[in-house]
Amino acid sequence: MTPVSCFVVDVGHLRRSPGLQWHRTWREPMADLVVTGSAVPAGQPVELDVVLESVLGGVRALGVVRFGWAGACRRCLRPAAGSVEVAVAEMFTPGSDGEDTYPLVGDLVDLEPLVRDAVLLELPPAPLCHPGCRGLCPACGTDRNVATCRCGPALDGRWAALDQLYPAPARRAPRAVSGEDLRSSYRAAGPTTR
Ligand SMILES: [Zn+2]
Ligand SMILES: [Zn+2]
């Protein structure tokens, strides 16, 4: 038996007053919010901000779920993290099988499955540490965000800009430009990575 969810609420007073809206908020840690590429870190609360209203056929929940996630960058394998805010609009109905609506049992609704479903759908399966992550060199494994290697040209837009800063001499004699030089030029020239 799992313990009674803190997301259970008695909506009896709403059901006796159709049209009445009830605003509720939660900020609770939840276990086992994990997908292949990311997870909600253990102990980190998930927020639910929702308006409950009795409507024909059941109780409607409209609101937002917010959470932070952490994972490993799909390109460079370094830590990646972010936050998500997702809108939710769901119905709780008597006799629900949990497919199209969530169950309304007597006057009780449990919002935990709604929160859990929303988070699991939005957790990034293949996150990036930042949108411009340059990843690892497929040949030698060098993290291209912090160093360059001699495995051959890695010409995306940013390195093309660098090539203009370091025209022919750098290309003819790549060892004349150290990784540190490249990094500082890269920082000085931008573009910034965040
Ligand atoms: Zn990365
Ligand atoms: Zn390499």
Q: DSSP of the chain, one letter per residue?
A: -PPPPTTEEE-HHHHTSTT-EEEEEEEEE-S--B-SSEEPPTT-EEEEEEEEEEETTEEEEEEEEEEEEEEE-TTT-SEEEEEEEEEEEEEEETT--SSSSEEEETTEEE-HHHHHHHHHHHS-SS--SSTT---B-TTT--BTTT---SSS---SHHHHHHHHHS-HHHHH-GGGS-HHHHHHHHHHH-----
- Please, what is the end-to-end C-alpha distance for the chain in angstroms? 45
Phi-psi region of 138 (alpha: psi -120 to 50; beta: other; left: phi over 0): alpha
Give the residue-averaged pLDDT of 189-193: 43
Cα 156 to ligand 2 centre (Å): 15
- Ligand 2 centroid to residue 82 C-alpha, Å: 29
Q: Give the global pTM.
A: 0.73
Q: Band of the pLDDT at 152, cuts 50, 70, 90?
A: confident
CA 37 / ligand 1 centre spacing (Å): 13
What's the half-sphere exposure (Cβ side, CA atoms, 13 Å) at 54? Answer: 14
pLDDT given at position 120: 97
Q: How far is CA 108 from the centre of its chain?
A: 30
Give me the residue spans of the domains in the chain: 8-122, 134-194
Does residue 12 surpass a pLDDT of 80? yes
Average pLDDT over residues 146-174: 56
The band of 76, judged by pLDDT with boundaries at 50, 70 and 90, is: very high
How sure is the predictor about 97, in pLDDT bands with cuts at 50, 70 and 90?
A: confident
pLDDT higher than 80, residue 55: yes
Task: Tell me the average pLDDT across 152-173.
Answer: 47
Per-residue pLDDT at 9 exceeds 60: yes
Reply yes or no on whether the pLDDT at 119 is more than 80: yes
Residues around the ion ligand 2 (C-beta < 5 A): 137, 139-140, 142, 149, 151
Distances (CA, A) of 21 to 27, 50, 61, 106, 179: 20, 10, 10, 19, 61
The average pLDDT across 161-179 equals: 42
Q: Report CA(131)–ligand 2 centroid distance (Å).
A: 21
Say how many C-beta atoms besides its own lie within 10 A of residue 65's C-beta. Answer: 24
Residues in the chain: 194
